[in-house]
Chains A and B, each alone.
Chain A
Amino acid sequence: MNTHSFAASKLNPDHAVIDEICAAGEPWVGVVKQGQTFRIVDLEGNQAVDTLFFNAGHALERYSATDTIRAQNKLYLTTGSKLCSNFGNTMLSIVADTCGRHDTLGGACAAESNTVRYALEKYPMHSCRDNFLHALAHEKACEQLGMSKRDIPSNINFFMNVPVTEEGNLEFVDGVSAPGKYVEMQAEMDVLVLISNCPQLNNPCNAYNPTPIRLLIWNPQ
């Protein structure tokens, strides 16, 4: 039996210092300062949110899926998970989660991997890596850190469900999320957030219908 841990937040969206909508299939970049709280809301449900974190002053330090998994000895992310960097530091801690489980194995979709996973002619379809590279090319914060494709490692897929069995099978299944579910994390250092609101249409990770997400940041209470 899978156990999911749910924890609601007391923060009021009226008091947020950032409250933005990221449309379906688009990138989003923001900075969360140490002590601030960052929330991602799955507005319409079953929307994968491909997310990376970087040290806001030094992009060499970045979210590390393997360090995070190793430190908690667990594959899935939820309340209490510490999102670790490749330098072994905690970047953010998940402090509230009404979805209960998030993936960090599935990575981001890309034109090239779509040709392998689905069909050679899927190459032109929009993808998360296109979003990441678009953001790196246009966002001043990314440019100032000198970021390029080299700086894109394995990401988190908030609201995505990729169960692994004891026998070693792995599947993408329909989301565990639903309209209005959210995940909230407190920054332990100043972090640059790089998001692709996943445009994948070839598997159930977005319920075959990518939808918008809401992003909020609160100052320390």
Chain B
Amino acid sequence: MNQQDIIWKQSIPGGCHWSGIMRRGTTLRLIDVQGGANAAMLFFNQEEKLERYNMADTLKSQHTFRLTQGHACHSDMGRIFCCITADTAGWNDTVCGLSDAKLIQQKYGIARYQEHRNQMFRSGLDGMLIELGKWGLGMRDIVSNINFFSKVTADADGELTFHAGNSKAGDHVDLSFEMDTLVILSAAPHPLDTKPAYQPGAVDLAAFVTPAAAISVCQQIAENVRGLHNTHQLYHPCGGAL
């Protein structure tokens, strides 16, 4: 990506939230500014928001627990929102969900706007609900999300370990969209983050036109080829199906 190719940029301070539309054929780059950021995200079909990111379909279609370059983010309708076309951190979690207000208070205490202004403590769930509300969506639309930059492993008994330091300053993830997608993002701490203090990392966003053949990295998996087939059928100029 060259600087002149960037369509727009946006900085999301740690703990803050954002939503917007990504058009198919464009790539959203998430950049972990200081290291240790968490970008909790959900995806919805911009035309029919009942179609949404599906954690289970994403994992079982690709026989994976971790998401990284070469994987795709699947909808519940057999389509692919976006392909992960680059990932310098190497592991993104999609099973641990969001921090909520109660968790934030238990772990970090209270920091209200009145005393702390925009340094106040925000939760992942509340950030998502605010952004969803802008599009007529809400609690019913919160499903298992992706936590980009965050690594959580499971041992043989399923016991979870959060890996601090998975993502370093400057690490980035590229999401190359194949559907017109409503993107919801919260940069609040991962719910299993081990840092004792509330220090969510900032996330920079940059959008650019997807380079030709970039998504071929995700077509090594037969299930993704079929998901992309279903996706491209929806946008066929003569009308969609499925």
Interface residues of A (CB under 8 A from B): 1-3, 60, 64-67, 69-70, 73-76, 86, 88, 105-108, 110-113, 115-117, 119-120, 123, 149-151, 153-154, 162-166, 168-172
Contact = CB atoms under 8 A, between A and B. Distances in A.
Contacts of B145: 66
A73 B153 CA distance: 11
A111 B230 CA distance: 12
Interface in B39-77: 50, 54-57, 59-61, 63-66, 74, 76-77
Interface residues of B, number: 47
User: Which 3 pairs across A and B sit closest by C-beta, in order of nearness?
Assistant: A107-B56, A66-B97, A112-B78
Given A86-B139, A117-B61, A153 B160 contact: no
B156 interface: yes
A116 B56 contact: no
B96 A168 contact: no
Contact of B56 (A106, A111, A149): A106
A70 B158 CA distance: 12
B43 to A, nearest CB: 15
B148 to A, nearest CB: 15
Contacts, number: 133
Contacts of B143: 153-154
A74 B223 CA distance: 28
Contacts of A111: 78
Contact of A151 (B54, B77, B100, B140): B140
A81 to B, nearest CB: 10
B157 A76 contact: yes
A170 B144 contact: no
B192 A70 contact: yes
Contact of B63 (A150, A154, A170): A170
Interface in B76-126: 76-79, 91, 95-98, 100, 102
Contacts of B65: 105, 164-165, 168-170
Chain A interface SS verdict (over half)? loop
Which has the most chain B C-beta neighbours within 10 Å: A69, A151, A163, A166? A69
Contact of B153 (A74, A149, A168): A168
Interface string B166-204: 000000000000000000000000011000000000000
A162 B158 CA distance: 10
Contacts of A149: 50
Given A112-B76, A113-B61, A150 B50 contact: yes
Interface string B142-159: 111100000001111111
Given A60-B140, A115-B230, A154-B144, A168 B60 contact: no
A65 B60 contact: no
Contact of A106 (B60, B102, B229): B60
Given A112-B76, A117-B223, A166 B191 contact: no
B56 A154 contact: yes
Given A70-B192, A73-B159, 17 more contacts: A1-B156, A3-B157, A69-B96, A69-B160, A70-B191, A76-B157, A108-B56, A113-B60, A116-B227, A116-B230, A117-B223, A150-B50, A154-B56, A154-B144, A166-B156, A169-B63, A170-B59
A166 B64 contact: no
